[in-house]
Structure 1
Amino acid sequence: MQRPKVFFNIAIGGQPQGVVIFELFSDITPKTAENFRQLCTGARGFGFRGCPFHRIIPQFMVQGGRSIYGDQFPDENFRLKHDVPFLLSMANSGPNTNGSQFFITVAPTPWLDGKHVVFGRVVQGHDIVKKMESCGTQEGTPRANVVIADCGQA
């Protein structure tokens, strides 16, 4: 089974920056990957298009998101580790509280293992993710408006 790929067209300060393409680990985290894929395609009538990255911390991650499963859904599994940069992982507020938020790591983040579900990786556009990271602050509030201008299945 081929893993699905999805894309984000990123804008910073209203200016197009380029495309980020993700490979989703649908064989390891099928529910989490499908949630993200459907939000990229807008299959349920809503999705990531126009969604901001509201939390950006240099040397850590960029965060944004929404969910198709209502308020929250359980942690699918913790098979994959946060051992390399450019992973796609679920943000949450504790066990089994996945919902509307995801993040892209920009460095290895092993302290997140067993707490956040890794469900994909960046396969193209690493330079765009680094541009997004450069808009961050240690407090997490972006210095510029970083937005998913468009998205879909690649």
Structure 2
Amino acid sequence: MVLWTKQFTIADWDQYGPLLKTAQKQYVQYFNKPTLQLIKVHAQVFFDITIDGLDAGRIVFNLYANTYPTSENFRALCTGEKGNNKQNKPLHYKGTQFFKVIKGSYAQGGDITKDNGEGGESIYGPKFADENFINKHTRRGLLAMANKGRHTNNSQFYITFSQLSKHDGKNVVFGEVADEDSFRVLDKIEKQGTESGKVDKKILIANSGEQKSLRIE
């Protein structure tokens, strides 16, 4: 996979002179297409999952570079590097649960303050804005921000089990499940789901962090 972390601009190739301006423009337009931005990765992070106390495996996520503030929020909440909030609650996904799992739809978690879907907090404060909706809910295994309306993102997120186009333009998609082993863990999570989303077995993020060796600066 090709990894890069920034938008390309004409200025990046000014050194080559005016004869290449047409080629430069085409290059910029090509590499900034929405479909290609999906392969630009800001960082790779992981959740170690347990179900009713039993190890279910590790989910690894690629976080997109074209949604940097959102991706960075998720990355930092995976590592816990920001410490605690003003109420002394850890800004960390470790120890939180998936509190809603709807079969065929999504698994939702990330409530780091109340752990039941009623709370949450970002590294930027109680909430932050939707930055863009360039990435769509096209398939299984996408990572998106849960919210309660426009510009109400905090720490809550969901992972898709299928295409969810009804969420396009409403929820920011900022990452994806990275590999087949991770998809097998996602399958285990979905098996605990119901039509209502109520979860009988505790699906816990026992540990979370960043794949340091794979991060591109």
Q: CA-to-partner distance for each residue in 1:65-93, whole Å, 9 max, x for gaps?
A: 14212211000100010011100000001
Q: Distance in 2 between matches of 1:53 and 1:103?
A: 9
What does residue 69 of structure 1 align with? 124
Q: Distance in 1 between matches of 2:142 and 2:98?
A: 16
Amino acid at match of 1:7: F
Q: CA-to-partner distance for each residue in 1:128-147, whole Å, 9 max, x for gaps?
A: 01110111111111121001
Secondary structure of the corresponding residue to residue 131 of structure 2: coil
Q: RMSD of aligned C-alpha atoms?
A: 1.0
CA contact (8 A) 1:137 1:143 kept: no
Secondary structure of the corresponding residue to residue 82 of structure 2: coil
Identity %: 43
Equivalent position to 2:134, from 73, 79, 94: 79
Q: Distance in 2 between matches of 1:131 and 1:69?
A: 32
Secondary structure of the corresponding residue to residue 66 of structure 2: coil
Q: Distance in 2 between matches of 1:147 and 1:68?
A: 21
Query: Aligned pair 1:95/2:140, yes or no?
Result: no
- TM-score, normalized by length of structure 2? 0.69
- TM-score, normalized by length of structure 1? 0.96
Secondary structure of the corresponding residue to residue 30 of structure 1: helix
Structure number with higher strand proportion: 1
Q: Distance in 1 between matches of 2:46 and 2:198?
A: 24
The unaligned stretches of length 5 or more in structure 1 are: none
What does residue 102 of structure 2 align with? 57
Q: Which structure is higher in RCO with an 8 Å CA cutoff and minimum separation 6? A: 1
Matches within 5 A, 1:4-153: 4-25=43-64, 27-45=65-83, 46=90, 47-65=92-110, 66=112, 67-124=122-179, 125-153=182-210
Runs of 4+ in 1 over 4 A off after TM superposition: none
Larger Rg: 2
The unaligned stretches of length 5 or more in structure 2 are: 6-40, 84-89, 113-121, 212-217
